[in-house]
Structure 1
Amino acid sequence: MSSQVHEFHAEARQLLDLVVHSIYSNKDSFLRELISNSSDALDKLRLASLRDSDLDSDVSDLHVRLTPDAQARTLTVADNGIGMSREDVVDLIGTVAKSGTAKMRQALAEAGDAGASEELIGQFGIGFYSAFMVAERVTMVTRKAGESVGTRWESTGDGTYTVDEAPDAAPGTAITLSLKPADADNALHDYADPQVLRGLVKKYSDFIAWPIRMSETVEVPADEDGGEPTVEQVDATLNSQKALWAKSKDEVSAEEYAEFYRHLSHNWDEPLETISLHAEGTFEYQALMFLPSQPPLDMFARERSGGLHLYVRRVFITDDGAELLPEYLRFVQGVVDANDLSLNVSRELLQQDRQIRAIRRRLVKKVIGTVQELQDRRPDDYASFWTNFGQVFKEGLVNDPDNFQAILKASVFESTRESDQPTTLADYVERCPAEQKVIYYMTGETRQQIERSPHLEGFRAKGIEVLLLSDPVDEVWTSSMPEYDGRQFVSVAKGEAALDDDADAETDGADRDAEFADLMAWLTEVLEADVSQTRLTKRLTDSAACLVGDTFSMSPQLEKLYRASGQQVPHMKRVLELNPDHPLVTGLAKAYADAGDERSALTSTAQLLYAMAVLAEGGELADPAEFAKLLSDTLVAGLR
């Protein structure tokens, strides 16, 4: 196939321009990215050779090689890994394969300092593009395992690239950087200098499992016969290749852990917490996991892969270890190395494997326990964790019944108490009055909406703390009527509010029920399409009315969530509660009594009262246009 000139896709071209010209304080990062990509290619070739006995590939000496040339000012990073086909090159290098590139462009453009912009590039898997930070031209020659002809890709980063056949390409991938001229600004970063490269590999890639080699010049001393000293070229391995997950935490520095985390996750932040686990006994395995300090920008993307890499006896199996942790812990990054799994294990076998299920249970408990330790011992770090991952972590309250109580204990919640900090359930219970045996909560779309809800008026007046739950997942887990510490969760928007203080209040309530009985029966009849019952309440102090669900009914927000997911949910009638001390209610009661049998004129007032209750709780009217007309007609009538 002849040489072809292509243009970068629009998003890739814009990203390339931003990467090349952004204010990176540490250009050394390009080498880390290229070596990391080479390591992935070597992992994939060894795995492919294990699964495909017909794959004609030599895996006896898999490695990465650095070849600097000071005179030509070039640096080549080569591996004998899986390689790429021509289609792979065009798809993966000419475009940005991951989603969210528009966000990436905006984030890079808006980054106000070197550190902020530097943290972004790795989050989108575009490490290859970082080569253009230090190179005037990038040339890649690659041949995919099992193919006989390779591909040559070349670009100066000006918006176009060329693709040729490379008949003599060696197996794997070799990337040659034509380095930018050395000057005073990068005197300490001369990437054609072997000593600079040795230091960078030691600092950033020492833990890579494959040998990273470079030819070095050494002086051989004269022999005993008086011969002259000679100079020879020898292969030097620059990295230790030590698996960090096989070591105890005392043997590894924080910086080594941080670099390993960046290698695994392709993120640039520091890990918030490192979790090391060595299991012996029936199932032997090592695990090294990290809680990130920043959320990945694809955390809610459907196509994102799992955060754990699975190895079997140091042999890479998959970088999408979705079976090792549940979805609600998808932000966790790390490695699991099992001793007794088959090297030829498939995704289907992983899902069914008894050892994998046992490892998963242990990992989940370890992560949840670590979150709890942060909460107890490092409140600032826990606050950072909760801000970034709390909404995802709480998905476990729906999806992981076995660990429900542990997740509840490790979670915090907004509440009506006067504090900028959310509360644990343990602290909430400790503050409860002795006579309060339940945990009050209310759900809604936003905290502001919940705080303005009339349902809270009576509880606020009596100083009763209520949890304010505004995450969508809160609608789901609270609907299962959970308990904590023997106390049931009770919605302030469901059932009857037990806010009476004494028997006298109950007697007074019974008298008022009798006084308003006819009005309540009439309202129930007029509003029968939406209201199951009308009753007086102690729940309200300022508002005229509110709508309350039955104890076991769905909330309006949960109904909306189910409908948004395509599920058919019948319309739930709710109870209309009236504040007998509100002028609108007492006025309506008087008008109802005075109207005798001619009460049709009051129907519009009843409908407006219901609509006001819906709007006050942040709900949506079934027919806003009809409500607007009804309100307009009522206002006009009042002005006559």
Structure 2
Amino acid sequence: MSEQTPADNKNVDDIDVNKATANDNAANESTPNKNNPELKKHTFEAEVAQLLHLVTHSLYSNSDIFVRELVSNASDACDKLRFEATNDDSLYENDGELRIRIAVDENAKTITFTDNGIGMNEADAIENLGTIAKSGTKAFLDKLSESQKQDGQLIGQFGVGFYSGFIVADTISVESRKAGEAADTGVRWVSDGTGSFTVEPINKAERGTAITLHLKEEYSEGEDSYLDRNKIKRLVNKYSDHISLPIQMRKEVWQEDVVDDENDDAPAGGEMVLTDEWETINKASALWTRSASEIEDDEYVDFYKNITYDMDAPLTWTHNRVEGRVQYTQLLYIPKKAPVDLYTREQQHGLKLYVKRVFIMDEAEQLLPMYLRFVKGVIDSADLPLNVSRELLQESRDVKSIRDGNARRILTLLSSLANSEDSDKQEKFAQFYAEFGDVIKEGLGEDMGNQERIAKLLRYATSTQDGLETSFEDYKGRIKEGQKAIYYLTADNLAAAKNSPQLELFKKKGIEVILMTSRVDEWAMNFLTQFDETPLQNIAKGAIDLGDLQDEAEKAEAEKAQETLKPVVDKLKAALGDRAKDVKVSTRLVDSPACLVVGEGELSPQMIQMLKQMGQDVPESKPTLEVNPDHPLIKKLESSEQFDDLAQVIFDQALLADGGQLDDPAAYLKRVNELLMR
């Protein structure tokens, strides 16, 4: 099933291509061949050998990339012709159906990429193929006037893609004729990718360029063979499926063996054979380039499943064309379910990046902040600062602009769901928050520019509301008169939070407290100190100042208790030693004998425990023990003969109630058992 290629009428191996060194003469100097005066040998520009070695061994992470590059170059050539023909329609030469064709020849071990684009003459071939990092496109754009540049925005600006062919080929031959020029002005360019190349004139009836790769042995046999037509189709579908031009290969059909009428027992069989008919193997239409009003929801869902391999439909999506200094199209999806590796921050994530509908990167993580790593979709830009291999984005103002634009768009989409009166949208937001709410909280510390937007999306249970339904705005709407802060408490789970001793005073006074039960909450709240100009206060840290909510009688009673209980406080300090930073009389306790309090800016027991589990070094942090002067146990403590044991038990119980872990559980049990027996 071999296909003839344009270069088959000449044996490339017979061409005299000297392996010149990198320090030979410049590319514009040539040497005629004695056997064929029309065949001229040129040396690449200085240091080309080193550059070609870099291209074939370092710039590209996998050999498949040459398909993307050569198809992209062919598309560029067609775009150039289309642009030039706006002023000179004759350049189409009565062939206005632009296309790219790929032909595989198993016998010759070649693969050929053909386009009917702008083409090249001899001077163009020497200039554009004899110089690294110059395909002619950038020079073409430089010739455009400022008023024309907007019209030429589809024209590519990549230069070294052609040389990626040397990853898989030991020789590349190019046959081309420039649009509008005579057939005898065609040119054949041949090189083995070392130090030199040859050019010679040819007669070429068809306009455009045919690039033939003579594959290396390791790429023409076995699993790595590029002579497999189905493999080429898969690579086109992966990298170039949405190029607007048709990419074609010859159609295959099944042909049965002719049956021998005289021998009915002869086995029937057949084989796949190539026809003269060409079939388009890419979609040739990018979904995201169409107007959103023209696209059905089912099309959006099918496209999402195609690019993510997710069996479920997406939760929601947003499709926009962004205009401004940086112009790009974004099609962003929020999945319905979180992936199993969502909290593995080292796991690859990101958006599919296209440039002019040409696939560039599968997971362009630079286009999304880390806390939005669950978002899937496509970004298509006419121009981005890529490195020479297109595989890594360079950080720049344009990249930052796209990343910030994507973040704002996603947060706006989520806000529209959260604040909608539509029950379906409210349900979608609830689904989103259940799956990705904790990840969004990471943005409080990672994206200060959008901190307020993120804070408005957060939902919590409270001391009066069990479900994750209360926002900071909801809480402020229910705030008590005279209340100067938004009060919150962090705990391991909702039950622990609702039964925390820290809540007792607030329950007594009917003050609602936000209950934060995610492991990320305490870390995140280090970055959010206020909401809508109202301070946020962790009721388990520092002294509690209820301001106008605490009357003068309560303050006087607290001061009196400090004096009355001073002997007990001093004995507790001595008994606990270095376990507690200090011992104080509490104003926040109602029913419990004691609680632990850490200072503002210090780590809570839960945070210390989490950091230790992560294997991190934790700075020394000791809590303050606060005791309830009205509790019977504290009142009887001074006269107890087991004062030291009771002091340790009271401290350990306060630590357990606060979600901490005992350093010596056995010692705690021993003390409790002894006290019970007495």
Query: In which range does the TM-score fall when normalised by the shorter chain?
Result: 0.5 to 0.7
| Cα distance in 1 between the residues matched to 2:582 and 2:389 | 57
Do the aligned residues in 1 keep the contact of 2:349 with 2:365 (CA within 8 Å)? Answer: yes
Do the aligned residues in 2 keep the contact of 1:483 with 1:489 (CA within 8 Å)? Answer: yes
Structure exhibiting the larger radius of gyration computed from Cα positions: 2
Residue 214 to residue 502, structure 1, CA distance change in 2 (3 Å): farther
1:206 deviates by: 9.6
Residue 613 to residue 354, structure 1, CA distance change in 2 (3 Å): same
SS at match of 1:471: coil
Residue 582 to residue 282, structure 1, CA distance change in 2 (3 Å): same
Task: Select which of 525, 528, 531 maps to 1:478.
Answer: 525
Match of residue 571 from structure 2: 522
Deviation per CA, 1:580-639, whole angstroms, max 9, x where unpaired? Answer: 2222111113x16xxxxxx6x411111111111111222101111221222223233x1x
Match of residue 273 from structure 1: 316
Do the aligned residues in 2 keep the contact of 1:445 with 1:470 (CA within 8 Å)? Answer: yes
1:451 paired with 2:498, answer yes
SS at match of 2:317: strand
SS at match of 1:603: helix
Counterparts of 1:293-372 in structure 2 under 5 Å? 293-302=336-345, 304-342=347-385, 344-345=387-388, 350-372=393-415
Match of residue 501 from structure 1: 550
| Cα distance in 2 between the residues matched to 1:49 and 1:175 | 14
Counterparts of 1:152-171 in structure 2 under 5 Å? 169-170=227-228
One-letter amino acid of the structure 2 residue matched with residue 396 of structure 1:
G
Counterparts of 1:204-603 in structure 2 under 5 Å? 211=247, 215=251, 234-237=277-280, 240-302=283-345, 304-342=347-385, 344-345=387-388, 350-377=393-420, 378-480=425-527, 482-498=529-545, 501-589=550-638, 591=639, 601-603=642-644
| Cα distance in 1 between the residues matched to 2:662 and 2:248 | 66
Match of residue 110 from structure 1: none
Deviation per CA, 1:193-233, whole angstroms, max 9, x where unpaired? Answer: xxxxxxxx9xxx9978775879599xxxxxxxxxxxxxx97
Residue 352 to residue 368, structure 1, CA distance change in 2 (3 Å): same
1:280 deviates by: 1.9
Task: Select which of 622, 627, 632 maps to 2:673.
Answer: 632
Do the aligned residues in 1 keep the contact of 2:464 with 2:512 (CA within 8 Å)? Answer: yes
| Cα distance in 2 between the residues matched to 1:43 and 1:471 | 44
| Cα distance in 1 between the residues matched to 2:102 and 2:413 | 36
Match of residue 35 from structure 1: none
1:173 paired with 2:220, answer no
| Cα distance in 2 between the residues matched to 1:437 and 1:239 | 63
Deviation per CA, 1:128-173, whole angstroms, max 9, x where unpaired? Answer: xxxxxxxxxxxxxxxx996534699xxxxxxxxxxx6798943662
Match of residue 155 from structure 2: none
Do the aligned residues in 1 keep the contact of 2:387 with 2:393 (CA within 8 Å)? Answer: no
One-letter amino acid of the structure 1 residue matched with residue 569 of structure 2:
M
| Cα distance in 1 between the residues matched to 2:479 and 2:215 | 69
Residue 62 to residue 553, structure 1, CA distance change in 2 (3 Å): farther
Do the aligned residues in 1 keep the contact of 2:360 with 2:390 (CA within 8 Å)? Answer: no
One-letter amino acid of the structure 2 residue matched with residue 327 of structure 1:
M
| Cα distance in 2 between the residues matched to 1:347 and 1:555 | 47
| Cα distance in 2 between the residues matched to 1:150 and 1:485 | 63
Range moving further from structure 2, 479-488 or 233-242: 233-242
1:606 paired with 2:651, answer no
| Cα distance in 2 between the residues matched to 1:281 and 1:380 | 35
1:247 deviates by: 2.2
Do the aligned residues in 1 keep the contact of 2:572 with 2:647 (CA within 8 Å)? Answer: yes
One-letter amino acid of the structure 1 residue matched with residue 664 of structure 2:
D
One-letter amino acid of the structure 1 residue matched with residue 465 of structure 2:
E
SS at match of 1:320: strand
Match of residue 148 from structure 1: 217
Deviation per CA, 1:31-69, whole angstroms, max 9, x where unpaired? Answer: xxxxxxxxxx9984444559999xxxxxx847799xxxx
| Cα distance in 2 between the residues matched to 1:635 and 1:346 | 75
Do the aligned residues in 2 keep the contact of 1:306 with 1:330 (CA within 8 Å)? Answer: yes
One-letter amino acid of the structure 2 residue matched with residue 148 of structure 1:
E
| Cα distance in 2 between the residues matched to 1:145 and 1:263 | 34
Match of residue 192 from structure 2: none
| Cα distance in 1 between the residues matched to 2:248 and 2:312 | 25
Residue 342 to residue 575, structure 1, CA distance change in 2 (3 Å): closer
Match of residue 12 from structure 2: none
Do the aligned residues in 1 keep the contact of 2:331 with 2:377 (CA within 8 Å)? Answer: yes
SS at match of 2:400: helix
Percent identical among aligned pairs is: 33
| Cα distance in 1 between the residues matched to 2:101 and 2:671 | 78
| Cα distance in 2 between the residues matched to 1:314 and 1:401 | 33
| Cα distance in 1 between the residues matched to 2:620 and 2:627 | 22
Match of residue 664 from structure 2: 623
One-letter amino acid of the structure 1 residue matched with residue 379 of structure 2:
V
1:445 deviates by: 2.0
1:451 deviates by: 1.9
SS at match of 1:612: helix
One-letter amino acid of the structure 2 residue matched with residue 518 of structure 1:
P
TM-score (norm 2): 0.61
| Cα distance in 2 between the residues matched to 1:464 and 1:581 | 21
Deviation per CA, 1:306-332, whole angstroms, max 9, x where unpaired? Answer: 230111122211011100001110111
Deviation per CA, 1:261-316, whole angstroms, max 9, x where unpaired? Answer: 11111112112222112122311111111111222233233553223011112221
Do the aligned residues in 2 keep the contact of 1:368 with 1:406 (CA within 8 Å)? Answer: yes
| Cα distance in 2 between the residues matched to 1:145 and 1:588 | 93
Residue 312 to residue 609, structure 1, CA distance change in 2 (3 Å): same
Unaligned ranges ≥5, structure 2 = 1-61, 75-98, 105-111, 114-163, 168-212, 254-274
| Cα distance in 1 between the residues matched to 2:674 and 2:500 | 27
| Cα distance in 2 between the residues matched to 1:570 and 1:553 | 10
TM-score (norm 1): 0.65
Do the aligned residues in 2 keep the contact of 1:249 with 1:276 (CA within 8 Å)? Answer: yes
